[in-house]
A = this chain, B = another copy of it.
Amino acid sequence: MRFVADALNLTPPAAKRLEERNILRSAFIKHPFFPDIVEALKLEKKFGEFEEGTLIVKTNHGLEIVRGYPKIRRALTLYPTLKRHFKGDVVIEEKMNGYNVRIVLFGNNLYAITRRGFICPYTTEKARELINESFFSDNPSLMLCCEAVGMESPYVMKDVYDVKGLDFFVFDVRDRRTNIPLPVEKKIKLSEEYDFKIAPVLKKCSVEKAHIECRNVIEELGEGGREGVVIKDPEMVTSPVKYTASQSNTSDLSYAFRYFNDYGKDFMLSRIVREAFQSFEFGESVEELEKRCERLGRAILKSMVESIENVANGRKVTEKHRLRFRSEGVMYLFMQQIRKMGVEVIFHEPKFEKGYHVLEFERVLVSTTDKIRHHLEGNLW
């Protein structure tokens, strides 16, 4: 771990503190698919200025840091929150619903890193297929912060985007060592130049009007099953703020309650609280509030009842995924990686179809399954 202290420029006491906190974990599996990496560790928690998910890599050529993607704070009410937080103009971008990926170049190859700091073989293969690498030869110190979106996702599956399989949408371009983001315009220009898709830039307006513009936009997005918005300072000096549509909150709840014993109570409660603040701020009519109540109640209850029915019928509570790989070796590497991440998974026999190795697997929500079974068998709470 000596190379970590060097890479992060830690003083000897800081290096000791880092070791004592025991928050460094291996971030990859050594494999010819990752030819440039000798060793890679990730931060499991924030350490000093370094975000959770920060990756520290020893490559064949030297030491590299890829900073973790910073937590974006949330507005519970648009007004006066946006007005208080920003000055002058703001940009409203769509917040897409997939998984957060940072893409970087080490040596001659692209690497895709998950939010938590794992180098994901599946995502890396996709990135090498879809992302124009010359961007990095021209801008070696930058990373692309993308939402990886679509149904062929090992993490968050959504079919509301016009995406075949999986695709990347750039939302930030940042210096990978300092985490300083480029201004929004610069990000847009670079993305055009290198032909990257970007998370839609929806509006630019003065902060005085931002809460109204957001509200207009959010209702449309919600109706399309989309997640919400990120409001940004065009210069990216003030930190961004996010805000989500009711449909996204309830879809999260539906997901979380399906797996109610595996998901954090904070996850659930926070989404319920968001609904209340939004309902209040939007000054809803009795009918609108009633509709929101129904949507909320259904999201919570129906998915739980489904999970109970599954277990009552002898099945486990699972989440099914289907991924396609170009390389068989990468597929097996991904399977190893999933196990390493500590996720309980049932892999089905891989198939070869139309040039792809197709892997179907089910994530088993062990705690929810066990909890339901325990009670269905007649045990007391």
Contact = CB atoms under 8 A, between A and B. Distances in A.
| Interface SS of chain A | helix
Interface string A41-84: 00000000000000000000000000000000111110111111
Interface stretch (A97-105, A106-114, A266-274, A356-364): A266-274
How big is the A interface, by class?
35 or more
A32 to B, nearest CB: 44
Contact of A381 (B73, B265, B379): B73
A238 to B, nearest CB: 12
A74 B280 contact: no
Contacts of A380: 73-75, 81, 85, 241
A81 B302 CA distance: 23
A280 B308 contact: yes
Contacts of A276: 257, 260, 301, 304-305, 308
A309 interface: yes
Copy tally for this chain in the complex stands at: 2
A375 B289 CA distance: 20
B301 A300 contact: no
Interface in A231-275: 241, 257, 260, 265-266, 268-270, 272-273, 275
A185 interface: no
Interface of A: 73-77, 79-85, 241, 257, 260, 265-266, 268-270, 272-273, 275-277, 279-280, 289-290, 292-298, 300-302, 304-305, 308-309, 312, 375-381
Given A81-B379, A265-B269, 19 more contacts: A73-B381, A74-B380, A74-B381, A82-B378, A83-B378, A84-B377, A85-B378, A85-B380, A257-B272, A260-B272, A260-B276, A265-B266, A272-B304, A273-B304, A276-B304, A276-B308, A277-B375, A279-B301, A293-B297
Closest CB pairs A-B (n = 6): A297-B297, A276-B304, A293-B297, A80-B378, A265-B265, A84-B378
